[in-house]
């Protein structure tokens, strides 16, 4: 009995999330209502409220899941050498590509949240704790510079329908980070 209940819960949450993401692709977050989510998901409003307090909570939970999964990916990597850095970035890009629709929606749509900032914060924390070995002030600015650039490359990659492989994008990000303008020559 418990297994069926868990399956129903998982299914209900999945349908609500998918419906919400579909609506986010069609309109601004501020104009999405719980009623619309429920109609699209074919779920009763009371069922929605047993899982989420409102559409803000639903969005936050979706973002939190992605952030948690990204953290797991980052913490599994040993960021010591450039090749390991490329492999870690490639692994993250594979994750993003596999969850392309939701990542693209959360990064490109005006959701009224700070998803991009949350992604930058986990990347910055990882970089500062495991990768950059310099003074705190410089490290903070450098990590912001690197992460902002990488995030915008990823957004453009998503907008271009992920035509390049995750490996190629990881290599480009590494080259841009390590060689900067020298890469252009």
Segment 107-159, tens digit of pLDDT: 876 565 578 888 888 777 766 665 555 567 777 787 788 888 888 899 899 98
Residue 77 CA to residue 92 CA, distance in Å, equals 10
Token reading at 95? 């994750």
- The answer on pLDDT for 35 being more than 70 is yes
Calculate the alpha carbon distances from 181 to 65, 169, 175 in Å: 36, 17, 10
Q: Do domains 1-52 and 60-184 have the same CATH topology?
A: no
What is the per-residue pLDDT for 125? 74
Task: Given CATH 3.40.1350, say whether it is the number of domain 1-52.
Answer: no
Residue 55 CA to residue 62 CA, distance in Å, equals 11
What is the per-residue pLDDT for 38? 96
CATH T-level topology, domain 60-184: Tetracycline Repressor; domain 2 (1.10.357)
| pTM for the predicted model, two decimal places | 0.76
Q: Where are the domains of the chain?
A: 1-52, 60-184
């Amino acid at each position: 009995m418990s297994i069926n209940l868990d399956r129903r819960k998982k299914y209900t949450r999945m349908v609500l999330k998918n419906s919400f993401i579909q609506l986010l692709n069609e309109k601004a977050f501020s104009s999405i209502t719980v009623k619309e989510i429920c109609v699209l998901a074919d779920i009763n409003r009371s069922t929605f409220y047993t899982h989420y307090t409102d559409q803000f909570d639903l969005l936050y939970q979706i973002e939190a899941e992605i952030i948690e999964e990204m953290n797991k990916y980052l913490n599994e990597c040993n960021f010591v050498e450039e090749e390991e850095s490329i492999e870690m970035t490639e692994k993250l890009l594979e994750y993003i590509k596999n969850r392309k629709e939701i990542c693209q929606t959360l990064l490109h749509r005006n959701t009224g949240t700070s998803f991009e900032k949350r992604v930058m914060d986990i990347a910055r924390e990882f970089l500062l704790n495991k990768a950059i070995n310099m003074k705190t002030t410089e490290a903070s600015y450098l990590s912001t510079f690197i992460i902002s650039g990488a995030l915008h490359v990823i957004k453009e990659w998503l907008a271009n329908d992920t035509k390049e492989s995750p490996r190629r994008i990881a290599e480009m990000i590494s080259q841009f980070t390590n060689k900067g303008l020298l890469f252009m020559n």
